[in-house]
Amino acid sequence: MMKKTLVREGRAHAALVFDGPNAVGWCQFGPTAELPNIRSKKACEEGLRKLPDWRITCFFIDRERRGQGIATLALREALRYIAQSGGGTVEAYPEDYTGERTSNSFLCSGTLGMFEKTGFRKVRKIAMRRWVVVRRVPPARVRKSPDRTQR
């Protein structure tokens, strides 16, 4: 119900990837308060002094388009939005199936390798194959327009 309210108010966050008019993938992210009900929450928050500013919690990629880099594109766009919104500490909870075959349906929180390739670092293991990864995203630089009064 809370998510429905956030969507109606225009305060829900997701990076969508389109191919023409069709959405082929998305990445759900948001401030920690927007995404309080994460999987393995107790293990994720154990020992933390401060919650992260942002969370990346879920990916969906069209079955026919998996393996084409769409999740990585959605992740990068989510990080770009976070930078434009002031940046901060970003936390995610990917799965690590390195060297194993698994169904893509188990990868809704993304893969550890994808996050590591985009600058996240492993912080702690919270389940058999699930990790907490963290990255600090600096605020985006605001381009200054040239001052035309000085010559």
The range of the structural domain enclosing residue 68 comes to: 13-38+48-137
Please check whether residue 66 lies inside any domain of the structure.
yes
pTM equals 0.83
Measure the CA–CA gap between 24 and 30, rounded to whole angstroms. Answer: 20
10 Å CB burial of residue 49 (0-12, 13-18, 19+) is: exposed
Please check whether residue 96 lies inside any domain of the structure.
yes
Please check whether residue 147 lies inside any domain of the structure.
no
Reported as half-sphere exposure (CB side, CA atoms, 13 A), residue 126 has a value of 21
Residue 13 has pLDDT above 50, yes or no: yes
For residue 53, the domain's CATH number is 3.40.630.30
Measure the CA–CA gap between 10 and 30, rounded to whole angstroms. Answer: 12
Binned at pLDDT 50, 70 and 90, residue 104 comes out as low
* Count: domains in the chain: 1
Q: Looking at residue 151, what is its pLDDT? A: 42
Please check whether residue 6 lies inside any domain of the structure.
no
Q: Looking at residue 150, what is its pLDDT? A: 46
Q: Which residues contact 101 (CB under 8 A, 6 or more apart)?
A: none
